[in-house]
Structure 1
Amino acid sequence: MGFFDKFKISRLKEGLAKTRENIKTKITKLVKGRTEIDDEFLEELEQILISADVGVQTTLDIVDKITERAKNERYASEEDLNNMLIDEIQKMLSDARDAHVVDFDAPLPSTPYVILIVGVNGVGKTTSIGKMAYNYKTAGKKVLIAAADTFRAAATEQLEIWAERAGVPIVGQRQGADPASVVFDSVSSAVSRDMDVVLVDTAGRLHNKIHLMEELSKIMRVAQKKVPDAPHEVLLVLDASTGQNAINQAKEFMKSVKVTGLILTKLDGTAKGGVVIGISRELNIPVKYIGVGEKIEDLQIFDRQKFIEALLK
């Protein structure tokens, strides 16, 4: 394991500190001195997972799986019991390694690779775009940001700050301009400048779902005039600290657009990071990136094994 891998794991543990304290401390106490699973154990486990905002249904699924395994397996130590818990919780997380690119340094199937970023205002959409841009550039990709959230005041200015931090160009227009026009200009520029990645910011309002759907559809159609298979990805940004409300937001957006992956932000600010498990399980959409801090390097590729180990080991 290299220095940067160790650094990322260290930052992951730091970012998950509040959730880790909430889950690991209680589970360590739960398994201490036990080598078997009984009703009392299952009831306490259920309470621990629900308190971490894993979600009721996902929690019940985990408990059912553990109950089933307990019928056929024996545990010689606390460590055996803990490893079984880790194994079952990990299985609840959808694998992000699907047909879409996850690693920032991975070869792209086509260029420019257009990624649409959606999510309500205040979830960390702007910062996530800046951090993604930084990661792609650090990996050697040429990146352009499209400031297509022309509805919210100062949205472009905030994005410009992050573009400058990441060291990548940005294309934007005045407040109130047609978002599709911004996207057309951005994708056209990306094609002419031989860019690798285009990150498209979008408006975050949900009060008018019909209008949102029409706007996103128009953005896609306009992008396809220059890049026929765009967008290659639609990533939904969710604030992990909002817990189960994040799942409701996701369901609303999924009515308007086909979401290919999730970005979970603000995990460092909540003790209920177990929502990552519930979201992944309930929505059947992979969590691809997680935000574990405010620094530009604090957006990490989601690795379900490392995530669970950071919580429970």
Structure 2
Amino acid sequence: RDGLANLALLTGHGDRLAYVGLDANSQGCRDVGLLPDRLPGHVSLDDREARQRLERLWQTTLPTRPGKTYRQMLDSAGESIRALYVMGANPASERPKWAENLGKLDLLVVQTLFLNETAEQADVVLPALSWAEQDGTFTNLERRVQRAPQAVSDPHSRAAADWMILDHLARHMGVDWPFADVRAITAEIAKAAPIYKGLTWDALGDQGLQWPAESVRPKLRFQQVIQHALPASKEYDLCLVTGTVLYDGGELFSMTEPLRGWVHAPAVALHPDDAARRQIAEGDPVTVASPHGALALTAQISDQVQPGTVWIPESLPGTAVGALLNGHGQQRVKVVKR
């Protein structure tokens, strides 16, 4: 990532760099302060004026030290962290180590739509509504905040909107949040996050509104980039390359019958020369293994894959590439015909 940022700066295109989140509303989550070292509106945690303004708004004292990142929390689960409340994520499916760590917790609460791998380990599962069953907003990659009104409902469902579940929990803990609906929460965000000033539910309208990027765009600097070479291995002689695809095995996507045919097949792509040396043909069942785990996949032969590498997309149904990486950015693997 830093290498690409350096290239953009060197070619005079640094102002065109932008954050691209992996999930819907990732931008919105960052905007409202979900990052461990940021306040709402991408304001630094040590900004005294912003801290004082939020403390007056919320009638409380804010922490002065950054929290833990997603990875840090899951790496520490079962050790320094004894309890986790998981929403909108399925970490047990991402890395074998994380799945193991979740089993060591004293308490695991999962708020989700489906009984996924993480929810199966939970002590408490809180059934949530999907985005189509509740009012809410989405902030897209061009920073446009858009309304997402409720489209469907199930009168027999006992699930609740995410904000309502949190509101009930807060009330049981002695905190009375003054929110009766999503409109009230949107108005609160407009007060807490300076970049959302004036972006109330009614003001958003049907087309949504953008917040100004210039107000939070950081000053980019060249970063030192060190690419550590993978140690050679006779057994694991191929380098694993992975990344995202447009249509993957996300829970909502894979549960939608008309879209299932669009999902990328659980396959590994090899260069023709590498496949020939292993006597692997298109469509052959293969096992891809690393020192951390193994996956059963179907072989795809493509000259778009560089010799000496294999390509496995992320987030494919039943194919957690994290089982091969287990937290490492790079990994060597072997491919064996079954």
Coarse TM-score class (shorter-chain normalised): under 0.3
Point out the structure with the larger strand share.
2
TM-score (norm 1): 0.27
TM-score (norm 2): 0.26
Point out the structure with the larger helix share.
1
Higher relative contact order (CA 8 A, sep 6+): 1
